[in-house]
């Protein structure tokens, strides 16, 4: 039973020391720096921080490119 749950284990669920269990977490933007953003993971059970994640500017740009496809500048077509 618990092994099946591990297959679904993602960043949305982290081990919490206070709750002594893998708890669902909330992602919160903690800090924005020119080159990266730091996210804080808060346990939904006791609201304590159970982890952090850094997203560098490069990763963020890639993520944005994946999610929101920016329209590429069309190659100029010379009309006669």
Residue among 23 and 41 whose Cβ is closer to Zn ion: 23
Question: Near Zn ion by CB under 5 A, which window of 19-27, 28-36, 51-59, 64-72?
Answer: 19-27
Question: Near Zn ion by CB under 5 A, which window of 20-28, 31-39, 54-62, 68-76?
Answer: 20-28
Distance between CA atoms of residues 76 and 54, nearest Å: 39
Q: Is 19 in the site for Zn ion (CB under 5 A)?
A: yes
Phi, psi angles (nearest 5°) of residue 18:
-70, -45
User: Rule CB under 5 A: which of 21-60 touch Zn ion?
Assistant: 23, 43, 45-46
Q: Identify which of 50, 59, 61 has the alpha carbon closest to the alpha carbon of residue 26.
A: 50
Distance between CA atoms of residues 58 and 38, nearest Å: 14
In the complex, the residues that contact Zn ion under the rule CB under 5 A are 16, 18-19, 23, 43, 45-46
């Amino acid at each position: 039973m618990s092994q099946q749950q591990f297959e679904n284990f993602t960043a949305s669920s982290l081990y919490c020391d206070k709750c002594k269990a893998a708890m669902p977490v909330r992602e919160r933007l903690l800090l924005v720096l020119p080159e990266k953003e730091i996210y804080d993971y808060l346990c939904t059970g006791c609201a304590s921080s159970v982890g952090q994640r850094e997203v560098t500017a490069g990763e963020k740009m890639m993520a944005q490119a994946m999610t929101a496809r920016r329209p590429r500048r069309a190659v100029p077509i010379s009309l006669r």
